[in-house]
Amino acid sequence: MPSKPVLVVGSKNYSSWSLRPWLVLRVFDVAFDEVLLPLDTPEFYERIATYSPTGRVPVLHDGDIRVWDSLAIAEYANERWLGGRGWPADAAARGLARSISAEMHSGFSALRSELPMNCRKRVKNHPASAEAQVDVARVKAIWRQARERFGKGGAFLFGAFGIADAMYAPVVLRFVSYDVALDPVERAYADAVLALPALREWLEATVNEPLAPLHEQAR
Instruction: Tell me what pLDDT residue 217 has.
Output: 35
Are the C-beta atoms of 110 and 134 separated by less than 8 Å?
yes
pLDDT at 1 over 80: no
Mean per-residue pLDDT, 100-112 = 97
11 and 80 assigned to the same domain: yes
Which band of pLDDT confidence, cut at 50, 70 and 90, is reported for residue 213? low
Q: Is residue 207 part of a domain?
A: no
CA 211 to chain centre: 20
- Do residues 117 and 195 both lie within one domain? yes
Q: Are residues 79 and 97 in the same domain?
A: no
Please indicate, yes or no, if residue 11 is contained in any of the structural domains.
Answer: yes
Of 108, 111, 104, nearest in space to 126 by CA? 111
Whether 132 and 164 share a structural domain: yes
Summary mean pLDDT of the chain? 95
Domain boundary among 84, 100, 130: 84
- Peptide bond before residue 58 is cis, with ω within 30 degrees of 0: yes
Shared domain for 79 and 104, answered yes or no, is no
Do 56 and 16 share a structural domain?
yes
pTM for this structure? 0.95
CATH of the domain at 170: 1.20.1050.10
Shared domain for 141 and 74, answered yes or no, is no
| Closest listed residue to residue 36, CA positions, set 195, 205, 217 | 205
pLDDT at 211: 77
Is residue 161 assigned to a domain?
A: yes
Q: Mapping DSSP to helix (H, G, I), strand (E, B) and coil, where does residue 60 land?
A: strand
57/130 same-domain check: no
141-191 residue pLDDT tens: 999 999 999 999 999 999 999 999 999 999 999 999 999 999 999 999 999
Q: Indicate whether 106 and 182 sit together in one domain.
A: yes
CB 157 within 8 A of CB 164: yes
Residue span of the structural domain in which 53 resides: 6-84
Domain with residue 77: its CATH number is 3.40.30.10
**Structural domain ending residue among the three candidates 84, 107, 132:** 84
36 domain residue, yes or no: yes
Q: What is the DSSP letter of 5?
A: P
Q: Which residues 6+ apart lie within 8 Å of 133 measured at CB?
A: none
Instruction: Using the Cα atoms of residue 157, residue 163, residue 167 and residue 169 in order, give the sign of their dihedral.
Output: positive
Number of domains in the chain: 2
CA atoms within 13 A on the CB side of 104: 26
Together in a domain, 75 and 162: no
Q: Which of 67, 64, 93 is nearest to 79 (CA)?
A: 67
Do 54 and 16 fall into the same domain? yes
pLDDT score recorded for residue 205:
97
| Pick from 201, 202, 195, 102: nearest CA to 155 | 195
Q: Does 209 map to a domain?
A: no
Instruction: Encode 103-129: b = buried (16+ Cβ within 10 Å), e = exposed.
Output: ebbeebebbbebbbbbbebeeeeeebe
161 and 60 fall within a common domain: no
Distance CA 61, CA 158 (A): 29
Spatial neighbors of 29 by CB under 8 A, at least 6 apart, are none
